Amino acid sequence: MKSSEDLRRILLRIDGKGYKAYKDCEGVYRFPDYTLMIDHVQGDPFASPSRVRIQIPMSTAGFPDDTYSSRSREIALRDFLTRRFYELADYYSRRRKGSGKSGIISIDRPGQEVLERTSCVVNSSFVEFRFVVGFPALGRRIISREAESIFFEKIPEIVKKAGFYRNLDSRKLYRHIEVNEDADFIRNMLGEMGLVGFVADGSILPRASGVDQRPLKKGKVVPFESPDTMRVKIELPNSGTISGMGIPAGVSLIVGGGYHGKSTLLRALQNGIYNHIPGDGREFVVTDATAVKIRAEDGRRVEKVNISPFINNLPFEKDTVRFSTDDASGSTSQAANIIEALEIGTKLIIIDEDTSATNFMIRDHRMQELVSKDREPITPFIDKVRLMYRDYGTSTIIALGGSGDYLDVADKVICMIEYLPHDFTERAKRIAENFKTGRIAEGGEKFGELSMRIPNPGSFDPSRGRRDVKITSKGLKSIVFGTHTIDLGAVEQLVDVSQTRAVGDAIYYSTRYMDGKTTLADIIRSVFADIEKQGLDVIGPKPVGDYAYFRPFELAGAINRLRTLVIT
């Protein structure tokens, strides 16, 4: 291992030379309090910044054992340290000099969610930060004095203030850890309590805007308050006893007039699969970890999905047991999305009427009279939702405002009035009893069989041009896999571009388990078994700092939307 002075000498030697001379800096250097690893140096000041790691011995970092004694606490600690590093790096990057990305110091930026990330690694031996640095240049000539300032002044200050326990606000750190641990505790308790979701009293659900997920603070903000009939209490490990609305397993409806908060509550629940930072307002809005938000997705490709529980008897005898199309309709896409989620094991489907195909959700009495069942291929969701719960234990939460027929199949009806929930279950039952719809149930005696699908490994080609593997994320909702683009616009529970980046690499990693005999569900289980044992690094060829944890459902969602996918 080289010394820090060796790095200083290299920088002095290459001052004023062409940019590629920076490659001489790659290597491992021992600084007084940490080890610096320059893993990759960019080839040009306008290229993606260089990859750098800092490893601090735990004996120097000094974090107490109880800050990372469990998986939940470790993830929260890593998240807290990443946020602190980002703040400091952003501050020290403001006065940067040079061309292109010269002088940038940056680490993966967390949002409102607490996600496992590869930006920071913590164990009993060390704390490691993974970040990027823009090696400075004027034009394409090296300016060593700026590089020296980065590595011998700015980074040491960042490391000291972000990586040493004694220099952090311990009260804020423990609050961050404890809130995360409490949210995980609630999620683990849901099944035991017969619930699929929980919204704590006092939660702030509205967001600042559609593009700003921080809590709304302007105007009148109504804190959440559970109806008395749905209020449950939970004793948390750190925060004591809290109360809130428990959403039971089964079929639950969220109803109410327009602009009264139906979609706001639904969005909070769909994002309740993630923990949130203190001050977010949704710290204790917690949903079953397997919850999947479903919507219609016109135009998506579907590959041999058994949508026969919902759609049968198509014209020209088109197969719906192994249904394929390059241009799905709203109803067929929504059916496929539900079946694909069940294939991977979801126990909670979340649906918003506003983003659903009407003919998939309901066929009322008048339409049943007008078009007989033998001429209608679609069995609407209303006739399958209870069977899905009975046969597969999968609950449903639906936000709706236009279809009162669903009152007949609901276990719980929550009515939002001026952003506050009211338990209208008994009222809904009386209305359903007094105002019969005349509908004839069309769902049969069973939900229907689920078919496990086997992907053909030959249909996954990540090559592009001269590169054997070229996989990149294009924002939050798009992955370029070789020469093909995967549209993830309808995979609504992706919240961070680092998740999308990780999903792209996980698709390629998953091909090692594809042998033409193994089902997609088993392949994904094997991938996540590896991640559980070895961390997110396992899905990539080298350690990187910009992966964030995703779920099996997001990986399956991306694979299912790869237009070259072939199911054998």
The pLDDT value recorded for residue 178 is 98
Q: What is the pLDDT of residue 165?
A: 98
**Residue ranges per domain, the chain?**
2-168, 181-293+342-357+381-451, 457-560
CB 550 within 8 A of CB 503: yes
* Cα–Cα distance for residue pair 447/451, rounded to 1 Å: 13
393-422 per-residue burial string, b: 16 or more CB within 10 A, e: under 16:
ebbbbbbbbebbbbbbbbbbbbbbeebbbb
Q: Which two tokens stand for residue 74?
A: 């470790």
Dist. CA 156–CA 158, nearest whole Å: 5
- Residues 275, 273: Cα–Cα separation, whole Å: 7
- Label the pairing between strands 212-215 and 207-209: antiparallel
Other Cβ atoms closer than 10 A to 386: 19
In residues, how long is the chain?
Answer: 568
Q: What type of residue is 289?
A: A
Give Dmax (Cα) for the chain.
Answer: 88
Residue range 193-234, pLDDT digits in tens: 999 999 999 999 999 998 999 999 988 899 999 999 999 999
The Cα-based distances of 78 to 72, 83, 231, 405, 476 in angstroms read 10, 9, 34, 48, 22
- Phi-psi domain of 171 (left: phi exceeds 0; alpha: psi -120 through 50; beta: other): alpha
480 forms beta bridges with 472, 485
- H-state helical runs in 54-193: 58-61, 71-93, 144-149, 155-163, 170-189
User: pTM of the predicted model, to two decimals?
Assistant: 0.96
In CATH terms, 181-293+342-357+381-451 corresponds, of 3.40.50, 3.10.100, 1.10.3210, 2.60.40, to 3.40.50
Asked whether 393 and 347 are in contact (CB, 8 A), the reply is yes
- pLDDT, residue 242, reads 98
* Token pair for 281: 């307002």
Q: Cβ distance 521 to 81 under 8 Å?
A: no
Helix (H, G, I), strand (E, B) or coil at 278: coil
Question: Residue 486's beta-bridge partner residues?
Answer: 479
Contact 279, 416 (CB under 8 A): no
pLDDT digit string (tens) for 41-96?
999 999 999 999 999 999 999 999 999 999 999 999 999 999 999 999 999 998 88
pLDDT in tens, the chain (568 residues): 899 999 999 999 999 999 999 999 999 999 999 999 999 999 999 999 999 999 999 999 999 999 999 999 999 999 999 999 999 999 999 888 889 999 999 999 999 999 999 999 999 999 999 999 999 999 999 999 999 999 999 999 999 999 999 999 999 999 999 999 999 999 999 999 999 999 999 999 999 998 999 999 988 899 999 999 999 999 999 999 999 999 999 999 999 999 899 999 999 999 999 999 999 999 999 999 999 999 999 999 999 999 999 999 888 778 999 999 999 999 999 999 999 999 999 999 999 999 999 999 999 999 999 998 888 999 999 999 999 999 999 999 999 998 899 999 999 999 999 999 999 999 999 999 999 999 999 999 999 999 999 999 999 999 998 899 999 999 999 999 999 999 999 999 999 999 999 999 999 999 999 999 999 999 999 999 999 999 999 999 999 999 999 999 999 999 999 999 999 8
Residue with tokens 């997609």: 520
